[in-house]
Amino acid sequence: MKIAIVGSGYVGSVAGACFAELGHDVTVIDSDARKVQALQNGQLPIHEQYLPELLARHAGKRLHFTTDLRGPVSQSAAVFIAVGTPPLESGEPDLSYVDSVVREIAGAIQNYTVIVEKSTVPALTSEWIRRTMRLHNRHETDFDVVSNPEFLREGTAVADFLYPDRIVIGSSTSRATELMKEIYQPIMDKSYRKNPFIPVVQSAPVVPDLIVTDPSSAELIKHASNAFLAMKISFINAVSNVCEAVRGNIEDVCKGIGTDSRIGQKFLRPGIGYGGSCFPKDVSAFRALSSKCGYEFSLLKDVEQINLTQQLRFVAKVKEALWTLRNKRIAALGLAYKGGTDDVRESPAIAIIERLLAEGCQVVAFDPAAKEKAREVLRSDRLTYADSAYEAMDDADALVILTDWDEFARLDVGKMRDALRHPIVIDGRNLLKPDRMAAEGFIYYSVGRSAVTLDHVAAAKQAAGNGAQVVEVKK
Ligand code: NAD
């Protein structure tokens, strides 16, 4: 099927490459000529696993990139809108990019076309799109509007797209529903996984749930899903704060909670809070929508507040570990909002580094993928970027871990000790083990677990001298 996708960002580029992989003829359109030129030259503006391989496989064949909307849209059976919906001051999403694309689509379509909302938008947006199309002289029979929310996660976006848990189609006509089913057929009839180029995700369902509903419900599914996940993160962060106060161990608590099949382990990971281009924006958008409809969704306000508090508590821990912060040299590992991506939008790592800089620290930062993107938003005379984790640690008063990259969990503690001026680590992602850090002579702070102090280190040394294998860290 001929498909057009408007927007070549994290969602549009992945959706485009994956639809080409499923056998469709795809044109991805973006108004940013530099991005389009890079993509035409085989360069990806984002870091995403398997995307380079899909681009190499399909670009110039079943996958094209252009700045021209009119041509491809006029020939496509479905046009996916995947432009940004960033937050406004009010908390509502800025839908002006969607609006402007819809107006362009209205002027371009020639035959019956399904307009698909892939961007995350509030309930009732499909009504606005329909109205805009009609205001631009399009008859009801020329088009349908479908909500098809995207649930991919940056870092595993390609695999998530090709092996999803569910596909949601919010449609008000059977004609549009059937066309959407046809687009996803290679996933639904399992034909893609019979001879996959992208390895099958064993944990994903063999056949995803297909949820066909009305457009407003589909729009709500996306906002409610992200709000729920953000709530789960804030919930466990709040529990971790209580855990610290009663000297419990959050890892055991998470296991104890998460093994209840009604709750599940996923997203029960305490840290420095959620970030990225979706959760903060979608929680505030969902709250704003509810408020507009006359319902104050105050739970979501708490979710946001806990998230912010988590950053402040982390900076307080850095202070506790270092006494004063002015002129202290801090190695910061991580800039992306999570491991596996170069996305720094609403990254708690960036927010924390900004706070440390405001306190007068010198910061040397390293991230395996996000350095260039961070450079665009984070600049200071007191900030430098290193080329490796150990280079960042060189002669630093302390190390802070801000992003959950796998490689940070595998750091060589001997090399860390050699590089750092003082063996002090404040781990915002619980990537390292307190007992091990005590045994290795580190003062170590993490989230929801007792801190390893100099006294613990001394006790660990003594225990090692006595031949003991395990040192239990208790306050
Ligand atoms: P992005 O900012 O990475 O990409 C948006 C792209 O749209 C940009 O390249 C921009 O140049 C282009 N664009 C803007 N106006 C345009 C126009 N008039 N014509 C053509 N191109 C235009 O955004 P993203 O992260 O891909 O997110 C897109 C949407 O998908 C958002 O609503 C987001 O909430 C949602 N979403 C994102 C994710 C994610 O993980 N990033 C996951 C699910 C859903």
| pLDDT for the residue numbered 472 | 54
Residue 423 lies in a domain: no
Alpha-carbon distance 173 to 76, whole Å? 18
Which domain CATH number covers 277? 1.10.1040.10
Q: Are residues 55 and 191 in the same domain?
A: yes
Q: Letter for the amino acid at 250? A: I
Q: Are residues 7 and 94 in the same domain?
A: yes
Q: Which range of residues forms the domain containing residue 82?
A: 2-213
Give the position of tokens 């001997």.
414
Q: Are residues 126 and 266 in the same domain?
A: no
Q: Whose CA is nearest to atom 6 of ligand 1?
A: 7
Domain boundary at 213, 242, 266, which? Answer: 213
Query: Could you identify the atom of ligand 1 that is nearest to the CA of residue 13?
Result: 26
Q: Are residues 254 and 292 in the same domain?
A: yes
**Alpha carbon of 469 to ligand 1 centroid (Å):** 52
Q: Are residues 238 and 281 in the same domain?
A: yes
Ligand 1 pocket test: pick from 100, 221, 277 the residue with the most ligand atoms within 8 Å of its Cβ.
277
Residue 335 lies in a domain: no
**Alpha carbon of 120 to ligand 1 centroid (Å):** 9
Domain boundary at 266, 288, 305, which? Answer: 305
Q: Whose CA is nearest to atom 10 of ligand 1?
A: 7
| pLDDT for the residue numbered 456 | 87
Helix residue spans in 246-370 (DSSP H): 250-258, 279-292, 298-322, 348-358
Q: Are residues 203 and 66 in the same domain?
A: yes
Query: Could you identify the atom of ligand 1 that is nearest to the CA of residue 121?
Result: 32
Q: Are residues 98 and 132 in the same domain?
A: yes
Buried b (16+ CB within 10 A) or exposed e, 49-85: ebbeebbeebbeebbbbbeebeebbbbbbbbbbbbbb
Structure tokens at 475: 């306050």
Query: Could you identify the atom of ligand 1 that is nearest to the CA of residue 7?
Result: 7
| pLDDT for the residue numbered 471 | 47
**Residue ranges around ligand 1 (CB below 6 Å):** 6-12, 29-32, 35, 82-85, 97, 100-101, 119-120, 150, 152, 154, 277-278
Residue 184 lies in a domain: yes
Closest CA to 188 of 169, 172, 164: 164
Residue 290 lies in a domain: yes
Which domain CATH number covers 35? 3.40.50.720
Q: Are residues 166 and 128 in the same domain?
A: yes
Residue 366 lies in a domain: no
Q: Which of 18, 243, 254, 278 is catalytic?
A: 278
Domain boundary at 267, 289, 305, which? Answer: 305
Query: Could you identify the atom of ligand 1 that is nearest to the CA of residue 97?
Result: 15
Alpha-carbon distance 110 to 131, whole Å? 18
Q: Whole-prediction pTM value?
A: 0.94
Residue 468 lies in a domain: no
**Alpha carbon of 13 to ligand 1 centroid (Å):** 9
Q: Are residues 59 and 129 in the same domain?
A: yes
Q: Are residues 131 and 51 in the same domain?
A: yes
- Which residues face 365 on adjacent strands? 332, 385
Q: Are residues 96 and 121 in the same domain?
A: yes
| pLDDT for the residue numbered 475 | 42
Given a cut of 70, the residues of the chain with pLDDT beneath it are 467-475
Number of compact structural domains in the chain: 2
Closest CA to 165 of 95, 70, 82, 229: 229
- 243 is annotated as an active-site residue: no
Q: Are residues 85 and 156 in the same domain?
A: yes
Residue 357 lies in a domain: no
| pLDDT for the residue numbered 474 | 46
Residue 145 lies in a domain: yes
pLDDT in tens, 289-344: 999 999 999 999 999 999 999 999 999 999 999 999 999 999 999 999 999 999 99
Q: What are the two backbone dihedrals, phi and then psi, of residue 117, each rounded to the nearest 5 degrees? A: -80, 110
Ligand 1 pocket test: pick from 10, 37, 129, 148 the residue with the most ligand atoms within 8 Å of its Cβ.
10
